[in-house]
Amino acid sequence: MATIPSSTAGSATPAAPEARIGSMLQRQGALIALVVLTCIGALRYNGFISTYNIVELLRYNAMFGLIALGMTFVIMTGGIDLSVGAVAALASVIAALLSPYGATVAVGAAVGTGLLIGLFNGWVITRFNIAPFITTLAMLLGARGAALLLAKNAAVSVDTAGGYVEIGLNGVLGIPFPVIMLLVAYVLGSIVLNYTRFGRHVLAIGGNEDAARLMGLPVDRIKLGVYALSGGLAALAGAILAALTYTGIPTEGLGWELTAIAAVVVGGTLLTGGIGSVGTTFVGVLLLGLIINMLSFENLSAYWQSVIRGVFLLLVVVLQNQLSGKRKAAA
């Protein structure tokens, strides 16, 4: 009789530390990897931690960071948005075409278009119960076609006299405007997720949509909100792209949705929804950007960079799946 409690305790005790370690790695693994790679880069490459390299790293990845933020909210509801790259390309064309009227008009029109596209995606998904994968894949094709039509299948030059390009060139206290937009967006996103009913509802829907409906949560309205957010942030990324490159490029944004998903997953947000964090997505964006930066220091071609990024993402997804399985088993 005395041996039974001892055996039970012995099997339960190791599970708790293992579950805690798995949970910590899932939440903070990207941050640990970011710190380690930063130290390696600082030791290996001259100028790696210079102000210029850090600023350029953040400036270039501001676009991906904005798209990843919107994707975080979508994925936390259990959805996906494959149209963000095409929306960014369309927004860059719209911003370039309207750049003679000033930055406010150009950015406003671009972001407004993204919001409308996101709302349409959310409406189709909720009204007709169409899978987000199919809906946003169709929108990817539609937005890409619209960008090519508006641009007449050519890059559209930005009017430099209107001051639009200052968005990409200037900043405050040495911090470029794209980086400021990125930081402000993530601060606001973190506040929304952690301190508002909207954020709590997002996680509840991703955890169990049927239970959320039974609880009386406005599931359809929340989904409309997250897809509108995703579309708007993707369009803002496109507007920044036009300012940085001086052109609206209808063929740009290919694979951006995969980069955004990669950053979200690397940050620890579950693809199945219900678990996620804005802060860890930001770390995921920095980590992926840092990896590309290190590969550039190694003078690897863009093709090899894509291969390495793909392998890295696959390893992260496998590791995340293993850690999630262990947490569920321990629970």
Mean pLDDT of 228-238: 98
Instruction: Domain 31-41+48-330: give its CATH code.
Output: 1.10.3470
Give the pLDDT confidence of 272-286 residue by residue, as tens digits: 899 899 999 999 999
Q: Count the residues in the chain.
A: 331
Q: Is the pLDDT of residue 158 over 50?
A: yes
What are the residue ranges spanned by the domains of the chain?
31-41+48-330
- CA torsion sign for 177, 178, 181, 182 is negative
Model pLDDT, residue 23: 59
pLDDT category at 126 given cuts 50, 70, 90 is very high
Mean pLDDT of 218-236: 98
Angle at Cα 280 formed by Cα 125 and Cα 19, nearest 5°?
100
Give the pLDDT confidence of 293-320 residue by residue, as tens digits: 988 888 888 788 778 877 877 877 777 6
Q: Is the pLDDT of residue 189 over 50?
A: yes
Model pLDDT, residue 1: 42
DSSP 8-state class, residue 131? -
Mean pLDDT of 205-211: 96
- Which letter, b or e, does each residue of 156-177 get, where b requires 16 or more Cβ atoms within 10 Å of its Cβ? bebbeebebbebbeebeeeebb
Give the pLDDT confidence of 261-270 residue by residue, as tens digits: 989 988 888 8
